[in-house]
Amino acid sequence: MEHDFTRGNILKTIAVFALPYMLSYFLQMLYGMADPYMMGQFSGAAGITAVGNGAQTLYIITVTLVGLVEKMISFLFIVPSSMDATVSALTA
């Protein structure tokens, strides 16, 4: 299924495009709240601090790795095809 993001109602298009991302961030937020809640039930402030620091570290590592992989994929697959089109358009 192909979507044309240049035509139609822009607010509806943005909402449809952003809805899965907003849902995933909301679920990630709920998941992130569950760990400190459970640690607070059993270990107190030291456990909550440890879980919070670990979650931030894991988030930084995950975002860095995902960003790196995304850039590698775009460099290997997307950029060469668009560069070929650009070069052929410039030399024509």
pLDDT of residue 5: 66
Residue 3, in any domain of the structure: no
Which residues span the domain enclosing 28?
10-91
Residue 91 pLDDT more than 80?
A: no
Residue recorded with tokens 């044309």:
4
Number of structural domains the chain divides into: 1
Residue 19, in any domain of the structure: yes
Question: Per-residue pLDDT tens for 22-49?
Answer: 888 888 788 778 878 888 888 878 888 8
Residue 4, in any domain of the structure: no
pTM of the entire predicted model: 0.45
- As a whole number of angstroms, the distance between CA 40 and CA 76 comes to 46
Residue 74, in any domain of the structure: yes
- The fraction of the chain above a pLDDT of 70, given in percent, is 78
Alpha helices (H) along 1-92? 10-42, 45-73, 79-91
pLDDT of residue 84: 63
Residue 72, in any domain of the structure: yes
